Chain A
Amino acid sequence: MKRRTFLKGTIATSMVGVAVSAGMLSPRAVLAAWPESSFAAKKIEDALNALHGTSAHSESGDIKIKAPDIAENGAVVPITVSAGGNAEAITVLVKENPQPLCCNFELASNAEAFVSTRIKMGKTSDVVAVVKSGGKLMSSAKTVKVTIGGCGG
């Protein structure tokens, strides 16, 4: 009997231990989900490879990028990406930025293929929007002229 109680005790304690460590680990797991290697990548291809496992993408006219032709202030460039139907992810990259990957949006199945945000651009560059849908990558690009860079320096 004693042995049984002892065992029960240990199982209970270990369960608590697991629960605690799981709780402790969850914020870390959230941070780990941030794709560090793709943000560190210096080339669009490398960033896409690290993020989506492939860099193969085809140009698509369905993807609309709404951004100014000339941005006076590179620190704040409003950009809207939209595509018909659904998308699994929308990735925004700036070709000439030190780190091209700007932001990646993962969308649930009930979300529309639409995101709008404001980005920084170091200099005049192509803004590339990549939409992941049905496991395939489709892209569209738009050149934005920047008069004052927004990446410091």
Chain B
Amino acid sequence: MASKSIRIRANLKGDVTEVKALMSHPMETGLRKDKKTGEKIPAHFIKEVTAEHKGKSVMVAHWGVAVSKNPYLSFKFKGAAAGDAIKVSWVDNKGESDSEETTVK
């Protein structure tokens, strides 16, 4: 997968950090057909997304094909300080993966 497939932002509000992530991925369901050839487009989707704060997992998402193309994800957690590292990574059903890091603002 092309690098920089994830864009993340982590903002601290009070004691809660909101992490927003936007990934670029086709998220093919395996049900769609190619309009020209009539053949089924094989499924290609993100299966697992993990988010880590200072190396400790705060959220693990298991996704099916029903998550939209170029998935958006947002979640909140407590206990982070400005400048902490946040890492988001994904693995898809073809074994491709990517990860991206940012710092809490």
Contact = CB atoms under 8 A, between A and B. Distances in A.
A and B from one assembly?
yes
Interface of A: 27, 30-31, 33-35, 39, 75-78, 80, 94, 97-99, 101-108, 110-112, 114-121, 150-153
Given A31-B91, A114-B76, A117-B68, 14 more contacts: A27-B95, A77-B68, A97-B66, A99-B64, A103-B64, A103-B66, A112-B76, A112-B77, A114-B74, A116-B74, A117-B71, A117-B74, A118-B67, A153-B31
A153 B63 CA distance: 21
A86 B1 CA distance: 35
A142 B16 CA distance: 27
Contacts of A105: 59-62, 75
Contacts of B76: 111-112, 114
A118 B31 contact: no
B102 to A, nearest CB: 17
A115 B73 CA distance: 7
- Which label, helix, strand, loop or mixed, suits the secondary structure of the B interface? strand
Contact of B16 (A112, A150, A153): A112
Contacts of B73: 115-117
A115 B67 contact: no
Give the size range of B's interface with the partner: 20 to 34
Q: Shortest 6 CB-CB distances between A and B: which pairs?
A: A152-B32, A112-B76, A116-B74, A102-B66, A118-B68, A111-B77
B87 interface: no
A105 B49 CA distance: 9
B24 interface: no
Contacts of A97: 66
Which residue, of B63, B66, B95, has the highest number of chain A Cβ atoms within 10 A?
B66
A104 B66 contact: no
17 contacts: A31-B47, A39-B64, A99-B65, A102-B67, A103-B62, A105-B59, A105-B61, A105-B62, A106-B60, A110-B58, A114-B74, A116-B73, A118-B68, A119-B67, A120-B65, A152-B29, A152-B33
A107 B68 contact: no
Contacts of B16: 112
Contacts of B57: 108
